[in-house]
Each structure stands twice: as C-alpha cells, then as structure tokens.
Structure 1
C-alpha cells in the first residue's frame, strides 16, 4: 500500500504524463500543416534559438541524444538545418537553422501563437507561472537524483 507522500508524487507523475501527451498531440496538430512533427518543431526551435550540439539539445529537451540526432539528421537532409563546426569542441558539431528551416518554424509559430492566445483565455496566467515553477523545481530534483544514481 502506498503512503501519503508516495500518493502525491504518483498523482503528480500521472498529471505530468497526461499533460505531456496532450502537449505532444497538440504539437502534432500545430506542426502538420507545415509538414513537420512535434519532435521536429522542438529541434528547429532549439536550433533557431542559437546553434547548439545535439547533446545540448537532448539535455534541454529531456530526450535521448540518439533520438534528437535522428531528427536533426532528417532535418539536415531536408535542408532545414545544417551542421556547423563547434569552436569549443573540434569533435562536436552544432545544429544551426537554415532560411528554409526558419520559414517552416515561422509557419508553426504563427499557428502556435493563435493556440497560445486561446489558452490564455482558458487558463489563469498566474497559475501557469506557478505550475512552471513547480515543474522546474521537481525536474531539477529528478535530474539531481538521476545524476547521483548514474555516478
């Protein structure tokens, strides 16, 4: 039988899994007209923010490096991103967005802006900000715990 502390974390986990699934589903809906996917949107967005390595993207997105690498390779083959040298590490390469990638991302972001505007009418921005802070804190705790277990 679970105790009270376990119930809170279990319920929190289920709520996060549900929201993650819904956000992914919505991401697929937003990206499909641009011929993209939620996973591609995430990589394009990270590359547009500033060129970074696949490993850095994977850490930021909470995904396996190999899955981000596969998506980046497909985007590169389609001319939406390019690999450039990383001045900090001669063995690593950074992923940078191309003009075609910027156009695809702009199309997605226009659709996202309309969706986000609707969401602001359905949610309290203060609650969303508080939830973001909680998710960040719990995520940091989980990451710390994982790092301890992996060493």
Structure 2
C-alpha cells in the first residue's frame, strides 16, 4: 500500500497526540496531588460523578482496559473515595460511585483545574478548540 498525504498527516497527529497526552497527564498529576488524588484516580472518578457506572462502562468511556480500571476502582474504594453498589442490570458487575470524600476531593480540584484550563486555553482561540474537539470526536469514531 502506498503512502498518502492524509495518512502522513494522520501519523503526525497521532505522534502529537501522544505528546499532548503525556503533557496532560503531567499537568493532571500536579493538579491532583494537593487534593490527595492522582491523575488516574481522577480519570476513573470523572465518569461516575453524575451517575454510578460499572467498571467496564468506565473503561469504555475513558479508553482504558477493564483490568486497569478495576485496579484503580479497587484502590479508590480502599482509600474511601468510592464505593461499590449493587447493579440491578448485572449481579456480578457492581456499580462504582464516589463517596462524600471522593466528591469533596473533586470539588477541591475544581478551582485548580479551572485555573489551569483558563491559562492554557487563553493561548488558543475558542474556535480552534471547538474545531479540535470536533476533529477528535470524528477520529475517535473512525478508529473505534
């Protein structure tokens, strides 16, 4: 198969995405440390802030393996930041939800995260951010 311009550009996008993901993880570790979380804990708590979800549902939502989410969910439960609930739809696949301490940690993180997001987003136009989000959404759909 021959190379195409679009394929070469997509390869560059993938490489930049790896770099950006690493930078986001580094920033998340800095933001979460003062509130007693880690970037991974925040990533797993995020999807269950509105409603409890199964570990496999969380994994699908954030693009990680079920096993890695299970490990983090168990740690969150051990630390008192989340709890398992019965799942009426599936007896063995319990639902994860934050505890009051988990919600409090996320609340303490909110101002730190907003300050960071405002500082970073001030360097890029809102239109460019919207275009990026739209493009990323299309790429996720194309590769999943």
TM-score over 0.5 (shorter chain): yes
Q: CA deviation at 1:68?
A: 0.6
Greater percentage in helix: 1
Deviates more, 1:65-74 or 1:45-54: 45-54
Q: CA deviation at 1:57?
A: 0.4
User: Does the residue aligned with 1:83 lie in a helix, a strand or coil?
Assistant: strand
Q: CA deviation at 1:13?
A: 0.6
RMSD: 1.3
Deviations 1:41-96 (A, max 9, x none): 01122221210001000001000111111111000001110000111112210001
Q: CA deviation at 1:7?
A: 0.8
Greater percentage in strand: 1
User: Does the residue aligned with 2:64 lie in a helix, a strand or coil?
Assistant: coil
- The answer to whether structure 1 residue 9 and structure 2 residue 10 are counterparts is yes
Q: CA deviation at 1:2?
A: 4.1
Question: CA–CA distance in 1 between the matches of 2:72 and 2:66?
Answer: 10
Partner of 1:73: 74
Question: CA–CA distance in 1 between the matches of 2:24 and 2:129?
Answer: 14
Question: CA–CA distance in 2 between the matches of 1:128 and 1:71?
Answer: 30
Question: CA–CA distance in 2 between the matches of 1:48 and 1:3?
Answer: 42
Consecutive unaligned residues of structure 2, counting only runs of 5 or more, are none
Deviations 1:81-126 (A, max 9, x none): 0000111112210001100001111111221011112123211111
Partner of 2:112: 111
Question: CA–CA distance in 1 between the matches of 2:121 and 2:22?
Answer: 20
Deviations 1:10-59 (A, max 9, x none): 11111111111111111111101112111100112222121000100000
Q: CA deviation at 1:5?
A: 3.0
Q: How many residues get paired?
A: 143
Partner of 2:101: 100
